[in-house]
Amino acid sequence: MNFAPVINALALPPDARVYHRVPKNLLLEQGAPTAADKRQIQDGIEELLWVAALKPTNIAVPAFRDDVREYLEIAVLTATLRAGAKPTRLIELIHRAIPYPLVLVAAHGDTVTLSLAHKRWSQGETGKVVIEDVRRTAPFRPDGPTAEEAPFLASLAVSSLPSRDLFALYQGWLDRVAALEAAQITGTFAPPGSADRASAVREGLDTHARLQRDLATLRGQAEKEKQLNRRVELNLEIKRLEAKLAATAKAL
């Protein structure tokens, strides 16, 4: 897999480049809580490469510390997954295993997925870091991006991200992944211009996904319903949710 279109889009400074191979033992020790996860790592990962370590000393962006988390550096990794791999779970396991906030570019077949996840201190184990929700792009072809994916890639350069601190910079990437998800609904990619707008996009995406799940459930019920009155009620509720879904999409 040619990772170059995505890595080049990040515009990583030369001083941050590492290019070290990451042994699977690291994942097995740090990110595999079950025997099934260990098998997935052994059988599903072809290669894991540490591409870059973004630090205050090489990107001139301050570290971030508060009571919840500490961001001293951001890791950039590529993962080549084998044909029979389960990408969703493996991506989560890799994020769990790396102690730093991670930009992960995972290749499966001829597509790649870009994923990120904030990390915070564990409330139950002192010194242990846990991940929050993993936000990832849908798989895409880096050599032939769509009309929404091309401007997304063009927005990823480190120099174009917020530079207040490493947390803000990492959040900038997360906001662009959310903006791409919104663009695949609206047809237009637009990086959020403010923190309030970014929050509104994330909330809108969550609402959109929930409405889609609710609609799928109601449509299934309507197809099976034999009582006419009840079917009419379900169809009215479906129309109401469809209108709400359209309004949510428009707000994105």
Per residue in 78-112, pLDDT (tens digit) is 999 999 889 999 999 999 889 899 999 999 989 99
Query: Quick one: which of 106, 101, 98 has its CA closest to 78?
Result: 106
Tokens linked to 141: 């072809």
* Listed residue (116, 121, 96, 129) closest to 172, CA to CA: 116
Dihedral sign from CA coordinates of 201, 203, 209, 214: negative
What is this structure's pTM? Answer: 0.90
CA-nearest of 172, 199, 196 to 71 is 172
Radius of gyration of the chain (CA): 20
Residue type, 173: W
pLDDT of residue 32: 67
CA 196, chain centre distance (Å):
20
Query: Helix (H, G, I), strand (E, B), or coil: what is residue 76?
Result: strand
Please write the tens of the pLDDT for every residue from 40-72: 888 999 999 999 999 999 999 999 999 999 999
